Chains A and B, each alone.
Chain A
Amino acid sequence: MKYLIALALLIISLSTHALPIPASTLYRSPMMSHVTFTPNGKHISALIVEEGKSYISLIDTRDKEYQHIGSFDSDERLSEYSWINDEVLYIHYVKRGESRHVLLKLSEKEGKFTSELVPLPNDSYLVDPLVDEPNHVLFAKNRYDGRLSYQLYKLTLAQLLDKDFDKGSLVEQKLKDVAFFGWDSIRKALFAVTVDIEAMKGEVLYRELTDRRWKQLFEITDKKVQFSPIGFIGDDKLAVLSNENTDKIALYEFDIASQKLGKLIYEHPKYDLVSGEVNNAGNGISSVTYVENGQHVIQFLDSGTTEGDSLIKHHFKGKEGVVSAYAPDNKHQVLFVYASNDPGSYYLYDQEADKVELLTELNPDLMAFDLSDTQVFSVESVPGVNVEGYLTLPNQQSRNGVLLVMPHGGPIGIRDYNYFNNDTQYFASRGFAVLRVNFRGSEGYGKSFLNSGKGEFGKAIEQDITAAVNHVRKQYSFEKMCAMGASYGGYSALMLAIKHPKDYQCAIGAYGVYDLPLLFNGSNYKVLEEYRKAVSEVVGELSDDLLKYSPVYLADKIEAPVLLIAGKEDRIADFEHSQRMQYVLEKQGKRVEHLYYDKTAHGQNTWYWQQHENAYVADYLKRTLALSEYHEMAGVKPELAHQLGYDLAIIADGYNFDNKVENSPSQALAYYHQAALAGDGRSAYNYGVKLVQKGKQLLKETQGKQTTELMGVDDSQEGTRLVADGISWVEIGSSLGYASASNWLGLLYDEGEEVTQDLAKAVEFYSAAVEQGYDARSQLRMGKIYCLAKDELRDVKRCTELLALSKLVDLPKKDQKNAVTDDSRKLLHWIISQLYTYGHFDAKEIQLIQDLVKQEYGVSDVQVMLEGVEAGAIEYSRYYKKYRIYEKRKRFDASPSLVLGMVFEVEPQKGVDQQSKVAFIAKWTKEDDKGRKEIVQTNFLWGSQEDTWSTRISFGDDELFKGKLTVELSDLNNNLLATKTLELL
């Protein structure tokens, strides 16, 4: 069991610095989410992420001890869960895009929970756990395959666990095309949404549970006005958010009978309302929410409901907060508290003691960093038009004098908020000042402000942004500026660089639109009238005038270097936009760089690729604006430098592996080098190995040839230098704790190919690899050295201890540092055959090895005889289900396709169990036409005596030879049991 509070306190105890935050620390899942209380209020349940894995966990409200009751695989995502009672939890999750529904049955014994999973049909879901009717639930199940039309059941818990829908009562079966059933637990009313796809019509209906007749709440139409029901506030009255009669979105009563808006309940003088809450009595509104200064502000309308608000204000000065969950007895609450420089924390509030206790930060690792505040300001762009801006300044010590102007996407109906923002903090921590602007068209400032951004691409919108830029430049001095953004923000970034070429030193457009007429002509789908009409409303009518506001046709005015980022499967801002922009900039000799992602649409949808994209942008800014390395910023210690090196390693991996980024060996090499310099061990290893490969290739190419000399160094010398350089980088990787580097060096000195063989050094590196957590292969190879070394290293007892894989497997899970993989097992087979082939052991040592083989393979050392021994060309017979010799000749033409082998059977012995296992060693020796002998293959064979046995060999193009090939078969006592010789011509 673990304690959330302990983890949080440990991290808080570290001092904070103005240091660059690694991408992997910022772009990650929150440690805790989906928080609620169990029905008995003794535990808090939540989704907890630990070391990248997600769990449903229970946290004891008394001691904050937590335990996992269910886990998710990496391809599974929790959608929602509900407690049906204290023992049964309903979970809806998504696996590879498909909805899954399960029940989790819990049992508790002495405070420890165990759980059992009960899968439910995929085309079903829990509508409501009906807390007022214990042991009953409302459950929906689709009636058809491939067509949406749910039926509604009322089931007992037992019926649900048994998936016995036939025994449940069918609450609704007549209503057709039901896409969704809902339940209002206050009014005890059922909601249904029906969708008639062919008629392009939808309805929202409701009825009492016991009533059979549905009443229409409203018809779903394509009206431009907002209409969002909040809930029932009377028998025939709904509370709805609408802007039908006002400029701003306000709260109204809605009369169901007349289908008309009634009394205005609340309108904010300045802001649109974004949500509201019906009170517990179901007869009024308890609160409304609007956005002010980028923060969601909850304004309570009823007395007695300001409790949560004042609670946050009282305990957390200067922060925002919400009550995330109430305990059933209302004595405890879970609070979520956040700010622009705080991603948020969960607290447990004890009402009786009026005490708050930290449960966990959303991202505990961020507590070690000094996060930047955001200033909110308002500026008059043109007379009568005020726009709101958010300026996030870096810490004074780390500032690099660059202002990043980051317009948001949309542009209509989207906005920036003054919440904690990953991108803002990522760049601010690297010394950049970040400016975001809610320009005309942004949501939350009224309908006329929103409409005033329409058709203002490259005009009023960029005017507003520039007004905000000028405003902050009057207050602070910046040496350089870069405009960057995604979607509309990408367009705007380039337009800013076009309109103010002297002001911007770079422009970064991601997933942007750069050719406005192309928005109307991107595909045969986009030329349709209804599509074009929708685009016209935002962009303006299709005409040649749009060319004057399209970066593609204004590229000659760009002076700043440009980075284009795009997804090749983007159908919102077609990839063609970025392609055109790149083409035109290149044709005009402008400095342009691109980062195009395969299998990516209008942005990244995984943390990993968000890390990649931001790491790349940060690197681009560094290169383009001639900034210093982030890992060399003041105060960066080696551990953080290593993590920042990982940012660069992600870029290198993009170029190195088959993934979303086009491979580039030279870029991979360059970025691994940079990452290695920052202290990333894996990169040092990758860089080193690549240098060795390059050096070996050069040496191979120059072998036996006269080499060309360049700058006093010939190719052969360069090859040798690269190999030596590479090895030293792998050594750095090993010293930085990267296990693969240590194992690689162990192999290098063990085999002595590029270096002089040095078994003591090999043991040293294998030993480091074991310590660093490499899989069991390092340990096995170390064992082999101890058995076969000819000097003081020889220690057969130690060797057999290290080769005992079963002992590793038997270790408790927490102590299993070196995984036993299939490759480890294969390696052990080979090592056993090597020991019997090359080892010289005394009787005691032989016994140790035989004991090891018995222990690992369960074989007996019973004396056996062979029969049916044949050798020749071998193949697998599907008919006989075994390998068989199909050519018994002694002479064969050497060829890479030729597979030679020997088959045999074990002769049954009287009094010996035929199913007991036995083992053999096969040794293949070649003798070339000059009489030189060499062992070319050894095999360890084991199995039941009844098995059919075989050993096989083949030669690649570069291994082919002419001469004799002999196979010898021995038992574990080194008795030669069979030998056959074949000839290769």
Chain B
Amino acid sequence: MKQFMSLLLIIVVSTLSGCAQRLQSISKDVDKTLAENSGYLLIGVDTNWGLHSILIGGDNKLMLTERDLKFGSNYILVDVPAGHYRIEDVKFGRYVYMELEEGYWDFEVRPNQVSYVGDLNIEIQGLWEITSAEIILENRSTKALRFLESSFPNILQSRQVRYSGPGKDNFLEFAEGLSESKEAAL
């Protein structure tokens, strides 16, 4: 859901969950053998403010860290245990975060494939300090697919890529079919 935040809703806390597994985007295009019942998670983060972290809850606690959450548009590809997850909190700074409303930020990571869950678009207002923020999880499958084609062609070749964010969308499957039919024709 499109989430708006006013200054009043910014919650100041001392700590958030400390037991989440810190994730770090893989940088080498080598399709390693995944642990049992694991898959790749692919998420885009487009933010106009460098973030501190994004907390993901559900079957496991995961945390995207500031290393992968810099200003601009970034894709994060990580291998995680398969399961059902949801984006819970976006931390703008060490003590300022936004709790996302339940029910609109769910996704699934399926075993042995690349699960694209959407592009998290974060638009923050404020010059010196954050006054408001708008967050939306958008389906930009084509951009994600082009990212994999250019940065992770080996992983793309050996794994299926499927959309597993909010809603249901079979475009990536269709696109895969296009590539296969082209290869077959060649």
Contacts and interface: CB of A to CB of B under 8 A. Distances in A.
Contacts of A775: none
Contacts of A523: 2, 118, 136-139, 166
B178 A524 contact: no
B2 A525 contact: yes
A579 interface: yes
B136 A525 contact: yes
A107 interface: no
A522 B139 contact: yes
Contacts of B167: 520-521, 524, 526-527
Most buried by B among A522, A574, A575: A522
A312 interface: no
Interface residues of B toward A: which range? Answer: 20 to 34
Contact of B141 (A520, A525, A580, A588): A580
Interface stretch (B11-19, B21-29, B55-63, B142-150): B142-150
B32 interface: no
A584 B139 contact: no
Given A524-B105, A528-B1, A576 B178 contact: no
A576 B141 contact: yes
A587 B139 contact: no
A576 B175 contact: no
Interface string B150-181: 00000000000000011111110011001100
A598 to B, nearest CB: 12
Given A576-B139, A587-B182, A524 B175 contact: no
A550 to B, nearest CB: 10
Contact of B140 (A520, A524, A579): A579
Interface in A880-926: none
A524 B145 contact: no
A744 B109 CA distance: 61
B85 interface: no
Q: Is the interface of B mostly helix, strand, loop or mixed?
A: mixed
A583 B168 CA distance: 20
A553 interface: yes
Interface in B90-138: 104-105, 118, 136-138
A522 B1 CA distance: 11
Interface string A545-574: 000000011000000000000000000001
A520 B169 CA distance: 9
B175 A584 contact: yes
Given A525-B136, A579-B142, A584 B2 contact: no
B104 A524 contact: yes
Given A515-B171, A518-B169, A528-B1, A587 B138 contact: no
A583 B146 contact: yes
Contacts of B169: 517-518, 521
Interface string A296-327: 00000000000000000000000000000000
Q: Is the interface of A mostly helix, strand, loop or mixed?
A: helix
Given A518-B171, A520-B167, A524-B165, A576 B142 contact: yes
Nearest to B146: A583
B131 to A, nearest CB: 11
A552 B171 contact: yes
A25 to B, nearest CB: 37
A3 B25 CA distance: 69
Nearest to B141: A576
A520 B174 CA distance: 17
A545 to B, nearest CB: 14
A528 B167 CA distance: 9
Given A515-B171, A552-B171, A553-B174, A524 B136 contact: yes
Contacts of A528: 1, 104
A521 B168 contact: yes
Given A517-B169, A523-B2, A526-B167, A574 B141 contact: no
A458 B92 CA distance: 45
B145 A525 contact: no
A584 B137 CA distance: 23
Nearest to A146: B6
Contacts of B142: 576, 579-580, 582-583
Contacts of B140: 575-576, 579
Interface string A494-532: 000000000000000000000101101111111110000
Nearest to B6: A146
Nearest to A522: B139
A587 B2 contact: no
A517 B143 CA distance: 18
A748 B166 CA distance: 62
B89 to A, nearest CB: 16
Nearest to B169: A521
Contact of B166 (A521, A552, A579, A584): A521
A541 to B, nearest CB: 14
Contacts of A515: 171
A525 B165 CA distance: 12
A527 B145 contact: no
Given A528-B1, A579-B142, A579-B143, A587 B178 contact: yes
A562 to B, nearest CB: 16
Contacts of A576: 138-143
Contacts of B118: 523-524
Nearest to B178: A587
A13 to B, nearest CB: 54
Contacts of A575: 140
A574 B121 CA distance: 13
Contacts of A583: 142, 145-146, 175
A552 B167 CA distance: 18
Contacts of A582: 142
Contacts of A587: 175, 178-179, 182
B85 to A, nearest CB: 14
Contacts of B105: 524
A547 to B, nearest CB: 8
B72 to A, nearest CB: 13
Contacts of A552: 171, 174
A552 B169 CA distance: 13
Contacts of B165: 524
A589 to B, nearest CB: 8
A668 B170 CA distance: 38
Contacts of B104: 524-525, 527-528
A579 B144 CA distance: 11
A574 B178 contact: no
A522 B142 CA distance: 12
Interface in B51-81: none
Nearest to A584: B178
A574 B138 contact: yes
A263 B11 CA distance: 57
B88 to A, nearest CB: 14
A521 B179 CA distance: 23
Nearest to A578: B142
A95 B174 CA distance: 47
Contacts of B139: 518, 521-523, 574, 576
Contacts of A553: 174
A576 B139 CA distance: 7
A583 B166 CA distance: 22
A587 B181 CA distance: 10
Most buried by B among A515, A576, A580, A588: A576
A784 to B, nearest CB: 45
Given A521-B168, A576-B141, A579-B140, 14 more contacts: A517-B169, A523-B166, A524-B104, A524-B105, A524-B118, A524-B165, A524-B166, A525-B104, A552-B171, A576-B139, A579-B142, A580-B171, A587-B175, A587-B182
- A-B pairs with lowest CB-CB distance, top 5: A521-B167, A579-B142, A524-B166, A527-B167, A524-B137
28 contacts: A515-B171, A521-B139, A523-B118, A523-B137, A524-B1, A524-B105, A524-B166, A525-B1, A525-B2, A525-B136, A527-B166, A528-B1, A552-B171, A574-B138, A574-B139, A575-B140, A576-B139, A576-B141, A576-B142, A576-B143, A579-B142, A580-B141, A583-B146, A584-B175, A584-B178, A587-B178, A587-B182, A588-B178
